[in-house]
Amino acid sequence: MEYDNDENTWRRPSTPKMDNSKCHPIPKRSTTVAVIVLGLAVLSCLLGYCVLSESLPYESKTLRLVIILFRHGARTPTHTYKSDPYKNYQWPDGLGSLTNTGKLQLYELGKKYRSYYANFIPEEYYEKDVYIRSSDASRCLMSAYTFLAGLYPPTERQMWHPEMSWQPIPVHSLPRQLDNVVAATKSCKLWSAMYNEVKAEVDAQPKFSELFDYLTKHTNQSMRSVLNVDFLYSSLLIQRETGLKLPEWTKNVFPNKMRLPFMLSLALLSYNETLQRLQVGPLLNEIKQNFDKSVSHENIDRSLYLYSGHDVNVVSLWRALGFQELLEPEYGASIALELHEEVEQDNFFVKAFYRNNTKIEVPMELKLTFCSDPCPYTEFKHHLEKLIPTDWEAECQNDV
Ligand SMILES: *[C@@H]1O[C@H](CO)[C@@H](O)[C@H](O)[C@H]1NC(C)=O
Ligand SMILES: *[C@@H]1O[C@H](CO)[C@@H](O)[C@H](O)[C@H]1NC(C)=O
Ligand SMILES: *[C@@H]1O[C@H](CO)[C@@H](O)[C@H](O)[C@H]1NC(C)=O
């Protein structure tokens, strides 16, 4: 039997850690200089400089739990089209796979979150602290792994191989056909029927007919739906990023005229509240349960939940949080939800943030329209509950 009694081996520090090394390193060469520098350091620390230079000075004392959903990094195309000059292009690692750029993006994002939450997420990886779920798609799993490599480089104690500054961290996933939480690919009859209905309505909008005609003509295949445009848009985007010269005809429509139908296509999966219930309800349920366990102090160890998914998953959560604005999530775009506790008031509240891509230094705070500001957890929870099915299978009418 494995001895697994770690009850008393770890405690979260009760006060945020001050990383003194970041604040005025002291030169070793001369003691005189050292004394002066130290004096200045102490002085500036007294003046608040040390606190200001912290990466997360803001309300870190109230932070209790962070939940992050991100999109995978740069990938190769999943689709081609009939007249595609690059139909037979040999993409390294095949179609729909994470590229080296994509690996780096998520690694960078992990590092960004590490420094952003430096005072909150313990430096040393510890199983109790964090739980990671991913879509079962290889590019999402791999994105999760590189994110974790950036978030949790091994500490000295955790180094297990002299050449590898990396440690294994588990990433959980359900097979595609069973996953209604992260990728939301588990089949749901009612959802499919409704999705097809709203898609047909959008596809029939006269404003798109000219574009559809144009694309159908030039791709030499039927392009009569925003979903077709979605796949084409993504493929052209990747070809352009790869440095491939796009055909002349694309210049009239790509990216500008194709962007709206592309974003609409992503939004359709969670277009109205019924679709949201079926599409993101199970994820919202997990989010609620995670927050609940923290609020009730049932789980005080866990500080972080990570979800590694796709563009549509980011959009669905975005829409479920009440945002109507159409979104084009870039690679590594992420939504972060924070649970805060005001101990004196015995009050919990929620903050939401969006990072458009992996380069953003400071995430953009989102104003939750369904909630007061700051957003009390009770109000946040009330909103989630409206979108959480009590019996997902039954609501999906999967058994009829
Ligand atoms: C379009 O498709 C037809 C039949 O599939 C084919 O004969 C024709 O060569 C194609 N044209 C182009 C420009 O790819
Ligand atoms: C969402 O759209 C579907 C399909 O058109 C429709 O059946 C359903 O009633 C809509 N739900 C809401 C809340 O409008
Ligand atoms: C980031 O996303 C927000 C919300 O969609 C948008 O207002 C902002 O312009 C974006 N910033 C960049 C640099 O794309």
Domain end point (choices 236, 266, 296): 266
**5 within a domain of the structure (yes/no):** no
Task: Dig out the tokens for 294 from the structure.
Answer: 């923290």
Rg (CA), the chain: 24
pLDDT at 187 over 80: yes
Task: Dig out the tokens for 10 from the structure.
Answer: 């770890």
> 320 and 298 in one domain?
yes
Q: Which amino acid is present at 92? A: P
pLDDT at 231 over 50: yes
The H-assigned helical ranges of the chain are: 31-46, 49-52, 100-116, 138-151, 189-203, 209-219, 226-241, 256-268, 273-295, 311-320, 377-386, 392-396
Q: Which band of pLDDT confidence, cut at 50, 70 and 90, is reported for residue 33?
A: very low
Q: What is the pLDDT of residue 295?
A: 94
Q: What is the pLDDT of residue 8?
A: 31
**339 within a domain of the structure (yes/no):** yes
> 147 and 157 in one domain?
yes
> 199 and 174 in one domain?
no
> 235 and 125 in one domain?
no
Q: Whose CA is nearest to atom 14 of ligand 3?
A: 356
Q: What is the pLDDT of residue 361?
A: 85
Q: What is the pLDDT of residue 4?
A: 39
Of 44-58, 137-151, 199-213, 365-379, the one with minimum mean pLDDT is 44-58
Q: Whose CA is nearest to atom 8 of ligand 2?
A: 274
> 253 and 347 in one domain?
no
Peptide bond before residue 153 is cis, with ω within 30 degrees of 0: no
Domain end point (choices 208, 238, 266): 266
pLDDT at 70 over 50: yes
Q: Which of 325, 331, 360, 364 to mutate to test the pocket of ligand 3 (most atoms within 8 A of CB)?
A: 364
**91 within a domain of the structure (yes/no):** yes
Any ligand 3 atom below 6 A from CB of 356: yes
Q: Which band of pLDDT confidence, cut at 50, 70 and 90, is reported for residue 89?
A: very high
pLDDT tens for each residue of 345-365 = 889 999 999 999 999 888 999
Ligand number, closest to the Cα atom of 192: 2
CA of 320 to the centre of ligand 2 (A): 15
pLDDT tens for each residue of 255-284 = 999 999 999 999 999 999 999 999 999 999
Collapsing DSSP states into helix, strand and coil, what is residue 307? strand
> 306 and 165 in one domain?
yes
Q: Which of 356, 357, 362 to mutate to test the pocket of ligand 3 (most atoms within 8 A of CB)?
A: 356
CA of 356 to the centre of ligand 3 (A): 6
Most confident of 5-9, 30-34, 38-42, 167-171: 167-171
pLDDT at 286 over 50: yes
pLDDT at 130 over 80: yes
Q: Whose CA is nearest to atom 4 of ligand 2?
A: 194
Portion of the chain with pLDDT greater than 70, in percent: 85
**193 within a domain of the structure (yes/no):** yes
User: What average pLDDT is seen over the chain?
Assistant: 88
Three-state SS letters, 239-265: HHHCCCCCCHHHHHCCCHHHHHHHHHH
pLDDT at 7 over 80: no
Q: What is the pLDDT of residue 218?
A: 97
Domain end point (choices 266, 281, 306): 266
pLDDT at 91 over 80: yes
Ligand number, closest to the Cα atom of 194: 2
**10 within a domain of the structure (yes/no):** no
Q: Whose CA is nearest to atom 9 of ligand 2?
A: 274
**234 within a domain of the structure (yes/no):** yes
Of 6-10, 42-46, 381-385, the one with minimum mean pLDDT is 6-10
How crowded is residue 362: how many other Cβ atoms within 10 Å of its Cβ?
Answer: 10
pLDDT at 29 over 60: no
Domain total for the chain?
2
For residue 287, the domain's CATH number is 3.40.50.1240
**25 within a domain of the structure (yes/no):** no
**210 within a domain of the structure (yes/no):** yes
> 375 and 245 in one domain?
no
The whole-number average pLDDT for the span 183-190 is 98
Range of the structural domain that residue 242 is part of: 189-266
The ligand 3 atom nearest the CA atom of 327: 5
Q: What is the pLDDT of residue 344?
A: 81
> 193 and 182 in one domain?
no
Q: What is the pLDDT of residue 342?
A: 87
- Contact in structure between 280 and 184 (CB atoms under 8 Å): yes
> 378 and 329 in one domain?
yes
> 212 and 180 in one domain?
no
CA of 336 to the centre of ligand 2 (A): 28
The whole-number average pLDDT for the span 369-384 is 96
> 184 and 90 in one domain?
yes
> Active-site residue numbers?
72, 311
> 119 and 73 in one domain?
yes
The whole-number average pLDDT for the span 392-397 is 97
